[in-house]
């Protein structure tokens, strides 16, 4: 199994377990709709244990698996944009919308978004059946709709396929501890390096509030609990900047496995207007990386560890010459991302070419706006 996993990890393109539920684009994409329609499968069985101690043993093993994967795989929403752009330009197609509709997003170990990370984690969790035979086949992907405004309306029924963008995915496991129902959630896409336990009765081992990140400029606190409709988990995110807090609510649909993570969620990410490439440690702390908005005249922020803490350098993407400080920042960041010398410099050059392509940018962001419009009803 270990050798097989290594072979799969090295393989470029879409590994076989990543697409066995996916549909052909034309099978579920109405004309005039900016995204394909999401689909869900049959409910998964519940993992049952007789005691909290038995659950804690599973949770500890799962948490170690998550932490190892988060450290091993960078979070990367830059690579898929670059690949999409290069394939669009080499296709000879002039309309981004037409190409977007027929494009089949690949999932590779070098370019993991939340989708790739979730699928990779599912594969790693399959190996737990040796120690926990009853858990085999019970983990599954779940879909998440972020920043919900019409909360009560949304949870009153199954997710609407017409207004869902399903921009995020997590891994879930239904649990029962001595007859008490709950769910285990894993979110490597948001750098959560722990098991999230949501109990219906809100008692131990219910996770409750926890601090996801606490940096000098921003603090993030998360909480997960069942909504009134237990098919959903309510994820509350409090982000504090300059002593001002912002609260957002997202809904995770846990009733059924999400069958279209690549066809819908990965595709949606292709036209999103913000990008990041991040290395994390086993605790989910951001070690190094880059991020930038996708817009004309954008700048890229590069950050890395410099011995005294985290250093940040802002690099204009339209600049033709970089300063010595910018060159040092990019080289140091690239090394801490685990890239070969020159790779991050090349990637930033490719991003600069995209940002300077006004026609592509306009068409891409038009699709992004259309997706935002349909999801405003949520």
Tell me: the pLDDT tens digits for 124-179? 999 999 999 999 899 999 999 998 888 888 999 999 888 888 999 999 999 999 99
* Alpha carbon distance 282, 182 (integer Å): 26
Helices 358-375 and 343-356 cross at an angle (nearest 10°) of: 80
User: How many CB atoms are closer than 10 A to CB 306?
Assistant: 13
Gap between the Cα atoms of 17 and 273, Å rounded: 29
pLDDT for position 307: 86
pTM for this entry: 0.92
Residues 316-370: pLDDT tens digits?
999 889 999 999 999 999 999 999 999 999 999 999 999 999 999 999 999 999 9
- Name the residue with tokens 């659950």: 55
Distance CA 167, CA 267 (A): 9
pLDDT at 378: 62
Q: Is the dihedral of CA 196, 200, 206, 210 positive or negative?
A: positive
Q: What is the pLDDT of residue 296?
A: 96
Give me the residues of the chain with pLDDT under 50, please.
1-23, 25-26
263/216 Cα distance (integer angstroms): 38
């Amino acid at each position: 199994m270990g050798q097989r996993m290594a072979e799969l990890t090295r393989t470029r393109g879409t590994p076989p377990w990543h697409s066995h539920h996916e549909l052909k684009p034309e099978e579920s994409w109405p004309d005039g709709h900016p995204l394909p329609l999401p689909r869900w499968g049959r409910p998964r069985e519940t993992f049952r244990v007789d005691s909290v101690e038995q659950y804690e043993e599973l949770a500890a093993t799962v948490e170690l698996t998550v932490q190892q994967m988060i450290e091993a795989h960078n979070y990367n929403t830059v690579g898929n944009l670059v690949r999409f752009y290069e394939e669009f330009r080499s296709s000879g197609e002039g309309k981004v919308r037409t190409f977007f509709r027929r494009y089949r997003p690949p999932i590779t170990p070098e370019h993991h978004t939340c989708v790739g990370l979730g699928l990779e984690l599912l594969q790693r969790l399959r190996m737990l059946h040796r120690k926990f035979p009853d858990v085999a086949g019970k983990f599954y992907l779940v879909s998440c709709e972020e920043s919900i405004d019409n909360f009560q309306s949304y949870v009153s029924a199954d997710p609407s396929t017409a207004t869902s963008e399903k921009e995020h995915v997590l891994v879930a496991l239904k649990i029962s501890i001595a007859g008490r129902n709950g769910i285990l959630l894993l979110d490597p896409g948001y750098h959560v390096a722990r098991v999230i336990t949501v109990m219906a009765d809100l008692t131990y081992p219910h996770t409750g509030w926890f601090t996801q990140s606490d940096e000098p400029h921003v603090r993030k606190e998360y909480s997960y609990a069942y909504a009134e409709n237990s098919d959903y988990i309510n994820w509350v995110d409090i982000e504090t900047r300059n002593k001002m807090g912002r609260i957002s609510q997202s809904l995770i649909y846990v009733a059924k496995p999400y069958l279209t993570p690549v066809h819908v969620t990965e595709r949606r990410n292709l036209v999103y207007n913000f990008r990041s490439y991040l290395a994390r440690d086993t605790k989910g702390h951001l070690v190094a990386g880059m991020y930038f908005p996708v817009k004309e005249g954008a700048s890229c922020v590069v950050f890395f560890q410099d011995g005294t803490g985290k250093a940040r350098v802002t690099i204009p993407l339209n600049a033709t010459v970089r300063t010595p400080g910018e060159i040092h920042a990019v080289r140091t960041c690239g090394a801490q991302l685990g890239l070969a010398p020159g790779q991050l410099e090349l990637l930033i050059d490719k991003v600069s070419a995209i940002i300077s392509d006004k026609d592509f940018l306009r068409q891409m962001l038009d699709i992004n706006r259309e997706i935002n419009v349909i999801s405003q009803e949520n």
